[in-house]
Amino acid sequence: MFGVQKKKSPNHIQRADENLFFRGRGIVRFRPLLFLSLSFGLGIFFACLFGLIALVGASVFLLAAAGVLAYRIWKKKFAVGFLLFAALLCLFYALGCLSFSVRIGAFERSPEISGECSVAGTVEEIGESKEYTLLTLGDIWLIDGAGNSFRPNAKLQLYIYGEVPAAEIGSAAMFDAEVQTYDAWAYGRVNANAVIGNTRYRASAAADKVVFSEGEGVGVFTAVRRAMRGVLFANMDEATASVAYGMLTGDSGYMDEDALQNFRYGGIAHIFAVSGLHIGIIYGLLSALCKKCRIRNIVRVPLVFAALCFYAGVCGFSPSSVRALVMCTVAMLAEAGGLQYDRVGSVSCASLTVLVINPVYLFSVGFQLSVAAAAGIVIVGGHLTRLLRKIRFLPQKVCSAVGVAFSAQLATFPILIDCFGYVSGISFFLNLVFVPVIGAVYSVLFCAVALSVLLQFAAPVFLFIPGYLLRLSVMPIVMLEFKVLLICGFSFGSCAVLWYLFLFFLSDKVNLKPAPKISFAAVLCALLIAAMMFQNFNIGMESVMTLHAYYGSNIGLIRSSDGDYLIVYGEADGRHIEQVFLKEGITELRGAIFLTAPREANTGIPVILQYAELQTVYVPADSQLIDSFRTVEIRYESGVFVFGDAYAQFFSDELLYLNIRGAGIVCDGGADEVPALPECDLLIANTENDAVRKACSPRAEVYFEKTAEKMSVYRAGDLQIGWKNDIISVKDAG
């Protein structure tokens, strides 16, 4: 008890693989940092799902710990250490819960403001891109249309369109504009960027409508970015300079959107997120330089750390750069201190550091991808590399490169599918071939740009070769079309947990014998397949309609027996439409209806045609829409007509009645004049409209935009409406 061990007989020989299921001491090696960071992350996650009541979940830890403790006492193993660690796990879990709840509470403490306001604020950050200048204003003062004055403890993002006189940090900006409020939860996910930056409000204004006072000058990081941008665009062509600037700072705002999208389709857009690749290269260069100059560790470590910190600051302290910075620092300290460097511990420490700084990072796609890729390489990559090395004809470097690239792909797969709707089928090949090349070019480019910023008169000389190399290396990416090689049409949702469990199980971090390992892996695989089928196929539903929205781009999809049909309620946004079509696997639409004015329908049809074939657009008989599309039939309908498995009738340009399996649905795209309508079971509309509601007396309502106390896509994310056994079910589609 408490550390007293059973006496062994003198003739007893302990075999290392005595256990039926595993070899050695246990199934999984004890990794304290990993467990602590997991418990902190779990606390954050459950606080998001359940609120402060999630603190009760700590009792689950305690119950489990009590059970294990009893077992260890029974087996006469050391228990005090285990007890202490269990308490520590509970503490970290509780800390994660509390920190998340406090951050969200602080964000939501600032009042909701909307409408035309007079705004004054101090410029704290400046972001520049080709299309607009983005200012982050702090210390803001708003006066709304009713004369109410607000001084919230939050920031406002101001998008300025047009030529902006050089705004400076510390200057005051004054303007009148329509102000919108960001919520902590919108469209089915945490609004991570807004909460992390405490950016509660947003507004847009033309450049000539904003008045600036004198400021203190730009901050040092902004000054460095401006200097880098200056030397690059002065000494390279615009396309190459924008790629170089994106790679060096993580800011791809100056790149051509089509070129950037091709990088995304190729699965290599991560070169524009400053992370392990970039920080690792700079760390290697600086370490080599310090070793060459024989600088001692006591000077080298803080010097390199300061340089990496500064670089992360130039890149805006993005979560990927902070994660990479922490991992490099841990490696550096371990090397300097003569300690063994544990990569799993390092990734865990880096993730925990970022989450402690701001727990909302857990919901940031950039953080998720960064940690998943690093964890995948560390947990699966090594094992995969060792397996590949058993193939005799494969060189070791190739095995290592394949192992790293493939493990990163596997680990980021569910996140990419769920967030962007697709994964590039050629991504593995491009990451294997292209990324090492771009890494080499980056190292040369970084040195050249650093020297160019310091010695601007010699910039043309320094940047000539790197510019040429960069242009050559990105040429295949820019010229080739990668959109044809996309894996899409499904989503993981909560099945991602099973995917990661499966990967972890197959890695060498789980110390099981082959037979039990294969058995459990087969069970996990079967569970994953079953769960994915349940997630992605509408099993049991007689009819299904899905609703999708993103800041005004509101659409409904009806999956019929003869194909897919689309109803557009608002202004179709190309990026949103593309993401939905990729996620839902839609390449062809049998029919579409635009519940908008004819002018919006006229501009919306080409947007849809960019991403799917469209056979027929249905419009009211008296519609002003002109039939000018060669590949699309415009059908003018009066009375009831067939729309897939449904029946439909127009009541105006913006009002449509649907009958789906006997249920009446009124679809409102924002009607100003409301004629007499039939009673309906369900009303689907952009926003609340009392006139429409009175006219059709719906038994239930679903809205796209923010609506108090009603079902909305804004709150719950994409919705699935299903029909079965004379019941309409409305639930989250995710």
Partner 1 sequence: MKALFGKIALFGALLLAAAAVSLLPSLAPPKAGATRETTDAGLPYDASYNVLIRGDEVGSPGVYRVPYGCTYGQLFALASVEPPAGYDLSAPVSFADAVLVGGEYYIYFVL
Residues lying near partner 1 in the complex (CB under 8 A) are found at 47-52, 91, 95, 98-106, 108-109, 184-185, 190, 355-357, 359, 639-642, 647, 649, 659, 661-663, 676-679, 681-682, 699-700, 711, 715-716, 719, 726-732
Tell me the CA distances in angstroms from 279 to 248, 398, 413, one per residue in order.
10, 23, 23
Q: From its phi and psi, is residue 727 left (phi > 0), alpha (psi between -120 and 50) or beta?
A: beta
How far apart (Å, rounded) are the C-alpha atoms in residues 259 and 243? 9
With the C-alpha atoms ordered 590, 592, 598, 601, is the resulting torsion angle positive or negative?
Answer: negative
Nearest in space to 204 (alpha carbons), one of 164, 171, 149: 164
Contact between residue 136 and residue 124 where contact means Cβ atoms under 8 Å apart: yes
Chain position carrying tokens 């910039």: 459
Tell me how far, at minimum, the Cβ of 647 lies from partner 1, in Å. Answer: 4
How far apart (Å, rounded) are the C-alpha atoms in residues 404 and 412? 12
Q: How many degrees, rounded to 5, is the angle at CA 179 between CA 569 and CA 603?
A: 30
Q: From its phi and psi, is residue 250 left (phi > 0), alpha (psi between -120 and 50) or beta?
A: left
Nearer Cβ to partner 1 (78/212): 78
Nearer Cβ to partner 1 (47/595): 47
Question: What one-character DSSP code corresponds to residue 133?
Answer: E
Nearer Cβ to partner 1 (291/731): 731
Which token pair is 239?
């396309």
Tell me how far, at minimum, the Cβ of 692 lies from partner 1, in Å. Answer: 14
Nearer Cβ to partner 1 (195/510): 195
Helix then strand count (H, E) for the chain reads 22, 26
Nearer Cβ to partner 1 (107/272): 107
How far apart (Å, rounded) are the C-alpha atoms in residues 554 and 564? 17
Tell me how far, at minimum, the Cβ of 671 lies from partner 1, in Å. Answer: 17
Tell me how far, at minimum, the Cβ of 664 lies from partner 1, in Å. Answer: 8
Nearest in space to 163 (alpha carbons), one of 125, 199, 206, 202: 206
Tell me how far, at minimum, the Cβ of 326 lies from partner 1, in Å. Answer: 13
Query: Is residue 631 packed enough to be buried (19+ CB in 10 Å), middle (13-18) or exposed (0-12)?
Result: exposed
Nearer Cβ to partner 1 (43/250): 43
Nearer Cβ to partner 1 (672/709): 709
Tell me how far, at minimum, the Cβ of 651 lies from partner 1, in Å. Answer: 9
Tell me how far, at minimum, the Cβ of 95 lies from partner 1, in Å. Answer: 6
Tell me how far, at minimum, the Cβ of 387 lies from partner 1, in Å. Answer: 38
379 contacts: CB under 8 Å, gap ≥ 6: 344, 407, 411, 503, 504, 507, 509
Nearer Cβ to partner 1 (47/312): 47
Q: What is the DSSP string of 51-108?
A: GGGGGGGHHHHHHHHHHHHHHHHHTT---HHHHHHHHHHHHHHHHHHHHHHHHHHHHH
Nearer Cβ to partner 1 (51/115): 51
171 contacts: CB under 8 Å, gap ≥ 6: 122, 123, 212, 213, 214, 215, 216
Tell me how far, at minimum, the Cβ of 63 lies from partner 1, in Å. Answer: 23
Tell me how far, at minimum, the Cβ of 617 lies from partner 1, in Å. Answer: 19
How far apart (Å, rounded) are the C-alpha atoms in residues 154 and 111? 10
Nearer Cβ to partner 1 (51/606): 51
Q: What is the DSSP string of 692-723?
A: HHHHH--SEEEESS--TTSEEHHHH-SEEEEE
How far apart (Å, rounded) are the C-alpha atoms in residues 699 and 683? 8
Count of residues making up the chain: 734
How far apart (Å, rounded) are the C-alpha atoms in residues 91 and 109? 26
Nearer Cβ to partner 1 (42/524): 42
Which token pair is 666?
């009124």
Nearer Cβ to partner 1 (55/485): 55
Tell me how far, at minimum, the Cβ of 33 lies from partner 1, in Å. Answer: 12
Tell me how far, at minimum, the Cβ of 255 lies from partner 1, in Å. Answer: 34
Tell me how far, at minimum, the Cβ of 713 lies from partner 1, in Å. Answer: 9
Nearer Cβ to partner 1 (48/322): 48
